[in-house]
């Protein structure tokens, strides 16, 4: 998997970084905690500038969150809850998680989107309640860009600083990246295995205008 990351970066340059960050948001096969430090590491070796790395990573990440925003915007809360009821184990998300995220967003608004982009377990799905709340697109994009830029720049600079000591850390970078990927995969498997769906009073009726009820 790490070889695949290196292959895209070596052959596609900044576009490869943007593509990886896009995929990381849509369906996270490789976490940004691996992608951006490796890209920053390559920048330190002179393959591209650190500014190019940060811009490419930020653009790819921003494009990647748009499907989640429009999922919330066009599907609405009831349909997303319906998906969570049926596929929640594989999404590792319950209907109550959807409702709680929506309440959290409505309470904190724009701050939730901007700071949510800095939290690994929240940074992608925070786009869903923003869409549910019909947040104006350009406002959503602007506050997302701030948090995304901080996140990608921080990870890229971490790899860039390591790259300044290339002769010392070269042999450890690939191993460390593989360990991060394995940990992410194991965490997902753990969440799937230990997932406990909650019982609801009744299934969501997609044709009804009545809000779904939780089992209290």
pLDDT one-digit tens code per residue, 99-137: 766 776 777 777 778 887 877 666 777 888 888 888 899
Neighbouring-strand partners of residue 199: none
pLDDT of 15-27, one tens digit each? 999 999 998 887 6
Residue 178 has pLDDT above 60, yes or no: yes
Model confidence band, residue 175 (pLDDT cutoffs 50, 70, 90) = low
pLDDT, tens only, 42-59: 888 888 899 999 999 999
Spatial distance between the Cα atoms of 78 and 71, rounded to a whole number of angstroms: 12
Query: Pick the residue with more confidence: 119 or 2?
Result: 119
- pTM as predicted: 0.73
> Is residue 134 left, alpha or beta, with left meaning phi > 0 and alpha meaning psi from -120 to 50?
left
Least confident of 59-68, 76-85, 130-139: 76-85
Cβ contacts of residue 69 below 8 Å, gap of 6+?
127, 128, 130, 131, 137, 140
Q: Report the distance separating Cα 82 and Cα 207, nearest Å.
A: 12
Task: Tell me the C-alpha distance between 130 and 113, whole Å.
Answer: 7
Say how far apart CA 20 and CA 198 lie, in whole Å.
34
Q: Where are the alpha helices (DSSP H) in the chain?
A: 2-12, 14-26, 32-44, 50-70, 76-91, 95-108, 110-116, 127-132, 137-163, 166-193
Of 91, 143, 135, 93, nearest in space to 118 by CA: 143
Question: What rounded mean pLDDT belongs to the chain?
Answer: 76
* pLDDT > 70 in the chain, percent: 66
Q: Which residue has the higher pLDDT, 152 or 82?
A: 152
pLDDT-wise least confident of 13-22, 26-35, 206-215: 206-215
157-172 pLDDT, tens digit per residue, is: 988 888 766 555 555 5
Total residues belonging to the chain: 216
């Amino acid at each position: 998997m790490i070889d695949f990351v290196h292959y895209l970066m070596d052959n596609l340059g900044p576009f490869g970084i943007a593509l990886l960050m896009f995929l990381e948001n849509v369906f996270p096969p490789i976490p940004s905690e691996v992608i951006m430090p490796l890209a920053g590491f390559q920048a330190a070796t002179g393959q591209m500038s650190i500014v190019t790395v940060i811009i490419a990573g930020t653009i790819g990440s921003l494009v990647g969150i748009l499907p989640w925003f429009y999922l919330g915007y066009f599907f609405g809360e009831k349909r997303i809850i319906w998906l969570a009821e049926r596929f929640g184990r594989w999404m590792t998300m319950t209907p109550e998680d959807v409702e709680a995220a929506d309440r959290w967003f409505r309470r904190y608004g724009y701050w939730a989107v901007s700071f949510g982009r800095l939290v690994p377990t929240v940074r992608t799905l925070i786009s869903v309640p923003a869409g549910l709340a019909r947040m104006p697109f350009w406002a959503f994009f602007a506050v997302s860009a701030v948090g995304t830029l901080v996140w990608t720049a921080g990870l890229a600079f971490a790899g860039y600083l390591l790259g300044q000591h290339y002769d010392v850390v070269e042999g450890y970078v690939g191993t460390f990246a593989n360990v991060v990927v394995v940990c992410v995969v194991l965490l997902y498997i753990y969440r799937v295995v230990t997932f406990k769906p909650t019982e609801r009073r009744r299934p969501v009726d997609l044709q009804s205008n009545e809000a779904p009820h939780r089992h209290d």
